[in-house]
Amino acid sequence: MKVLLVCAQGMSTSILMKKLRGYAEEQGIDFEINAVGIGSFKEVCEKYDCILLGPQISYRKDEVVRGTTRPVGVIAPADYGIGRCENIFKLIDSLLQQ
């Protein structure tokens, strides 16, 4: 699965991405994740299976939904903050089933 993580600048997500990659590897999940800032998501979003937003830009979800045909979800602040990978993968799975 290919996931695009959208945040304010595309930089604050590196720790979370590292945790998600490690979790996917441990679980044997075929997983690719990349991050971009909100201003760049339209250029690449159609290359991904779903889009996750960092909680700091959750207020822009409607804008992202209008800019893509992919399912869009917002990571819960607690899951984002401590890198609760199991919950984030549950969110990804729910988006992919839409």
* Alpha-carbon distance values, 81 to 28, 67, 96 (Å): 24, 26, 23
Domain count, the chain: 1
Tokens encoding 90: 């549950």
Longest pairwise C-alpha distance within the chain: 35
Cα 32 to the chain's mean position, in Å?
10
Domain that holds residue 65: 2-96
Q: Which of 7, 45, 50, 85 is catalytic?
A: 7
pLDDT digits (tens, 9 = 90+) for 36-93: 999 989 999 999 999 999 999 999 999 999 999 999 999 999 999 899 999 999 999 9
Q: Give yes or no: 50 in active site.
A: no
* Alpha-carbon distance values, 42 to 29, 64, 90 (Å): 26, 8, 24
The pTM (predicted TM-score) of the whole model is: 0.92
CATH of the domain at 49: 3.40.50.2300
